Amino acid sequence: MEYQNVLVLTDFSKDSDEAVKAAVDFTKKYNSRLTVLNVVRDIPNLTFVLSDSEYHRLERKLEVHAGEQFDKMETAIPELAEIGYKRKIRKGTPYISCLYEIENGNYDLVFAGSHGKSDLKKVVMGSTAEKVLRRSPISVFVTRR
């Protein structure tokens, strides 16, 4: 099987950094293209509390923050810049947005970290990686720290 397009999911946690490192090594070995996806959680209930302008300002702030996190990740994992990866930011529920990207992005393989930023959330709702793993139409490689 050829792995031309690889997707790696990140929430900028230490576990997802391990997934990014593994994906970088993989794409180097197989001469693949790499896309790194971060999903900014959409909180639609805030529209009841915030005005439209405040809500859109918050959205922009979150996107800027994600961009800054990508910059930090590049500094921590310099091989990313060497391979010329593509940054992608989506807004929404993380596992749904990840699955949408997988189904519409023409990927051959997905990398994900086994745990995200909040291990407590996993107990309550299950991890994003687990939900993506169960529902993905393509293979998912889950890394552990």
Cβ neighbours, 10 Å, residue 138? 14
Report the mean per-residue pLDDT for the chain: 89
Query: For residues 3 and 62, what is the distance between their CA atoms, to the nearest angstrom?
Result: 32
pTM over cut 0.75: yes
Write out pLDDT tens, residues 80-116: 989 999 999 999 999 999 999 999 999 999 999 987 6
Q: Are 101 and 88 in contact (CB under 8 A)?
A: yes
137 pLDDT above the threshold of 90: yes
Q: Which domains does the chain have, with CATH numbers?
A: 5-143 (3.40.50.620)
Write out pLDDT tens, residues 42-63: 877 777 788 888 888 988 899 9
Q: What is the DSSP string of 55-75?
A: HHHHHHHHHHHHHHHHHHHHH
